Amino acid sequence: MKFFSSFRKRSPWVLHYNAGSCNGCDIEILAALAPKYDLERFGVINTGNPKQSDIFLVTGPVTYRSRERLVELYSQIPEPKVVVAVGSCTATGGVFRGMYNVEDGIDRYIPVDVYVPGCASSPQLIIDAVARALEILETKSKEIEKPFKLFGAIETIHNRLSRLNMAAKVGQNEKN
Amino acid sequence: MIWIWIILAPILGGLLYGGERVLRARMQRRQGPPFLQPFYDMFKLLDKRTLIIHAPHALLAIAHFFVLWLSVAAIFLGWNLLYIIFLHLFAQLLLVVAGYSVRSVYSHLGSNRELLMVVAYEPILIFVSVGFYLVSGSFEIAEILKTGGYLTQLPLLFAALLVIVPIKVKKSPFDVGEAHQEIVGGVEVEYSGVFYEFLYMSRFLEYIFIYSFVYLFGGDSSWAGMLLVAGVFLLVNLADNATARVRTLQMVKIVSMTAMAFSVINLAVVVL
């Protein structure tokens, strides 16, 4: 509904996930949430629970260990949702690009709406990215968004997407 | 007239919660969210797609909210204090059952903690109502509000109530039941969208519930009651900002060593 959609940008709840980052960007995200930069003045809460979140803040190049959790968390966030890739690693792989145990960036697995540059990206940039993400969030519909790499069949129960065990489907039929 | 207040109770609680978030932010020298933030959150939750685990789980959240609303309505209507406490206990148990009904470990942990919280604060609430009975001669709120002088006769009981207010409004040092980042909200963990909204609003009602107990200590003077509520509100938020979370069993121990002892001594003094 149009009336309720206008409140999306006033109350964005954030889920923060570290997909194998060096913790540099995570510290900056926490700095943005802490009293000095105070992201809470936009109504941001760091929920830590995917089912109640709107914005997915991801840091780090995706390591093989973390990609299943990444997809699981992404598919557990109810639509409308926005993904923000924080830091160079998350966008392109950064200094880890081409390494044997990482994927180069999260957009191989899930659709990304906002990329934040920097190694590590500064709190100002992160706040800017969240503000940009809010504009995108407002225009999004409630269409179901699926991760890119989800091998195996997508299951439906009573004509609805089953979100059970999304992560288990990532590894199937894959070479790595 | 009173029905209008009952219908507005969640909105009143929401205003209280919004004010509290601003106050807490100002105590940390930051700007904080807008005053009406809880309502923005509620409208946004209505717009989210809802994921349901199973129907009874979702239904129990709604039942929890409405039973809690009933107990708050009973307070506004001036009913028997013991009815109100047990209605509230029933609402709490619905939430515990909801927590146990899903497979999430966090949800089970949250339910365990919720039960231990009930163990900690429930005797104190009953002692407080017994204290009111001993002074005013009635359990009816309408009668309790006709006499005064509770603070002079029941000072230790008021201190006991002060200890359990943070448990009920889920504030540090006794916020074990919610504990974001530790057990991701406890029983709330599997809720989303509209059904989470009911739990979010029941939090507002909890505020009204526990602060009306504080208000009762004002007795026949409503100004004294309001002043007490404002003072306790400030004190609880100060404690929230200044303390860290204690463990669940420590909480039970602390409450039974301080609040329980206070209330037993106070009741003994009044009876003798």
Q: What is the pLDDT of residues A72-125, one digit of tens each?
A: 888 888 888 899 999 888 888 888 888 888 888 888 888 898 999 888 889 999
At B125 the three-state DSSP class reads helix
CB proximity B256 to A under 8 Å: no
Please list every residue in chain B whose beta carbon sits closer than 8 Å to the beta carbon of residue A161.
Answer: none
Does the distance separating the beta carbons of A10 and B40 come in below 8 Å? Answer: yes
Q: Which has the closest alpha carbon to B169: B248, A33, B123, B161?
A: B161
Residue A162 confidence (pLDDT) above 80: no
Confidence of residue A175 (pLDDT cuts 50, 70, 90): very low
Contact B148, B223 (CB under 8 A): no
CB contact under 8 A, B188 and A52: yes
Please report the pLDDT score of residue A170 as a whole number. 54
**Position A152 pLDDT exceeds 60:** no
CA distance B40 to B151: 38
Determine the residue of chain B that is closest to A162 in CA distance.
Answer: B51
Which CATH number is A2-171 given?
3.40.50.12280
The token pair at A7 is: 């409140």
Residue A36 CB-density burial (10 A; 0-12 exposed, 13-18 middle, 19+ buried): exposed
User: Per the CB < 8 Å rule, is B47 touching A5?
Assistant: yes
Asked if the model's pLDDT at residue A1 lies above 70, the reply is no
State whether B33 and A48 contact (CB < 8 Å).
no
Tell me the count of A-B CB pairs closer than 8 A.
92
φ/ψ (deg, to 5) at B143:
-75, -40
The answer to whether the beta carbons of residues B166 and B121 sit under 8 Å apart is no
Nearest-CA distance B60 → chain A (Å): 18
Residues B200-219 have pLDDT tens digits of 889 899 999 999 989 988 87
Q: State CA B216 to chain mean position distance.
A: 15
- Flag whether residue B241 sits within 8 Å of chain A, measured between CB atoms: no
Q: Of A100, A167, A121, A161, which Cα lies nearest the Cα of A26?
A: A121
The answer to whether the CB atoms of B181 and A46 lie below 8 A apart is: yes
Asked whether the beta carbons of residue B44 and residue A163 sit closer than 8 angstroms, the reply is no
Q: Cα-flanking dihedrals φ and ψ of residue A66, to 5°?
A: -95, -10
Residue A130 per-residue DSSP state: H
Q: Is A167 helix (H, G, I), strand (E, B) or coil?
A: coil
Q: Search chain A and give the residue with CA nearest B178.
A: A47
Enter the tokens of residue B150: 């509770």
Residues in chain B with CB shorter than 8 Å from the CB of A5 are 47
pLDDT less than 50: residues of chain B: none
- pLDDT given at position A161: 66
Q: Do B185 and A163 touch (CB under 8 A)?
A: no
Which residues, in sequence order, are CB contacts of B246 under 8 Å at separation 6+? B173, B174, B176, B254
Q: Which residue, B257, B224, B76, is CA-closest to B151?
A: B224
The whole-chain average pLDDT of chain B stands at: 88
Do A83 and A113 form a contact (C-beta atoms < 8 A)?
A: yes
Answer whether A162 touches B (CB < 8 Å).
Answer: no
pLDDT at B175: 82
Quickly count: other Cβ atoms within 10 Å of residue A95's Cβ. 10
3-class DSSP state of A82? strand
pLDDT score at B63? 92
Which pair of structure tokens corresponds to residue A63?
Answer: 């390591």
**Residue B193 contacts A where some CB pair is shorter than 8 Å:** yes
A38/B contact by beta carbon, under 8 A: yes
Shortest Cα distance, chain A CAs vs residue B72, angstroms: 27
Q: Does A30 reach chain B within 8 Å, measured CB to CB?
A: no
A4 has a chain B CB within 8 A of its CB: yes
Please provide the size of chain B in residues.
272
Task: Round to whole Å and give the CA distance between A140 and A12.
Answer: 14
Instruction: Output the pLDDT for position A153.
Output: 55
Q: Is the pLDDT of residue A174 over 50?
A: no
Residues A64, A79: Cα–Cα separation, whole Å: 26
Confidence of residue A144 (pLDDT cuts 50, 70, 90): confident
A residues 114..153 contacting B (CB < 8 A): 142, 144
Task: Give the domain ranges of chain A.
Answer: 2-171
pLDDT of residue B234: 92
Measure the CA–CA gap between A67 and A46, rounded to whole angstroms.
Answer: 21
Q: What is the pLDDT of residue A70?
A: 85
Interface test with A, best of B47, B103, B182, B196 (most A CBs within 10 A): B47
Nearest one of A71, A62, A44 to A137, comparing CA atoms: A44
AA letter at B244: A
pLDDT at B169: 87
CB contact under 8 A, A78 and B193: yes
pLDDT tens, residue by residue, B83-127: 999 999 999 999 999 989 988 888 898 899 999 999 889 999 999
Chain A contact for B190, CB < 8 A?
yes
Q: Which residues, at least 6 apart from B261, have a Cβ–Cβ distance to it below 8 Å?
A: none
Query: Which tens digits make up the pLDDT trace of A35-74?
Result: 888 888 888 888 888 888 889 999 988 888 888 788 888 8
Residue A176's pLDDT is what?
39
The domain spans of chain B are 2-271
Beta-carbon separation of A52 and B192 below 8 A: yes
The residue of chain B nearest to residue A164, with distances taken between CA atoms, is B53
Contact B32 A54 (CB under 8 A): no
